[in-house]
Amino acid sequence: MPTSVTTPRPFYGQFAWAYEYLIERPVAKECAAMASKLSRRGVGAGASILDAGCGTGRYAVELARLGYRVTGIDRSTEMLALARARTDSPVGVAYEVADLATLPGARSFDALLCRGVLNDLVDDEPRAAVFEAFARVTRPGGVLLLDARDWEQSAAQRAARPIAERRVSTPRGFLVFRTVTRLDPATHRLLLSETLRARDAGGGAHHRHGRVRDALLDPRRARLGAPSDRLRGDRVLWYLRRRPPGHR
């Protein structure tokens, strides 16, 4: 089985501040839809949610606005620093440094949200460790909300447009983010080469980052079943019920 060749993404460290400029999502709309579906599954306002891989906290903040008690975890201290510094953060959000695969089972949440993270877990062992950790911290009968890219849609989009580039002007300078994609149909993986270039206000380039990684979880191999919902672009979402111990 191919293995990933990966260096840490600049979004997770030095360039955490650039993440929301380059990776846009309709967060308020998505959270409203998730809250509606959680409520129909018995997880309404006042319930506890673990945002696993919360990044800069934008989903955690929006869910807290909708009345949930949210704990956001991430292993990137730089992203968590941005989350804690958000001026739009309501009461009811707490942040902690933690790794998804080693979550302690001392606390139990009514729901667990994991958005934009699972595609990095392409090998069986780390993926199994993360799902076991999710089960430890979600109460029996609780709900797991997981998203990943859909292979068929992702493959079609990337085949039609293997090179994508996004340019943005920010208060800290001009950013260029370029992605070159190769498809590996045999393993259902996207092989990505990413480059981030940044120029400061004076016009000098101060960072260039490139990497290659495998970045697509195959839902069939992960045994997630059919997705519950389709999101914008090539992403799909699952709402899974945490079974009580011993239930098969």
In three-state form (DSSP H/G/I as H, E/B as E, the rest C), the secondary structure along 114-180 is ECCCHHHCCCHHHHHHHHHHHHHHEEEEEEEEEEEECHHHHHHHHHHCCEEEEEEEECCEEEEEEEE
Q: What are the residue boundaries of the structural domains of the chain, listed by start?
A: 10-151+217-241, 152-214
Task: Check whether 120 has a pLDDT greater than 80.
Answer: no
User: Mean per-residue pLDDT for 180-193?
Assistant: 84
Confidence of residue 49 (pLDDT cuts 50, 70, 90): very high
**What pLDDT, on the 0 to 100 scale, is given for residue 58?**
94
The listed CATH number (3.40.50.150, 3.40.1280.10, 3.30.465.10, 3.40.50.720) that belongs to domain 10-151+217-241: 3.40.50.150
Nearest alpha-carbon partner for 61 in 20, 102, 100, 98: 20
At which residue do the structure tokens 């790794």 appear?
99
Tokens representing 127? 């993926």
In contact, 64 and 43? CB cutoff 8 Å: no
DSSP 30: H
Residues 52 and 117 sit within 8 Å (Cβ to Cβ): yes
**Residues of the chain with pLDDT > 90: what percent?**
34
pLDDT of residue 228: 58
pLDDT of res. 5? 39
CA max distance for the chain: 62
Please give the model's pTM, rounded to 2 decimal places: 0.83
**pLDDT score at 67:** 94
Per-residue pLDDT tens over the stretch 3-28:
333 455 667 778 888 889 888 888 99
The angle that helices 58-65 and 27-40 make with each other, rounded to 10 degrees, is 50
Assign residue 94 a region (left: φ > 0; alpha: ψ between -120 and 50; beta: otherwise): beta
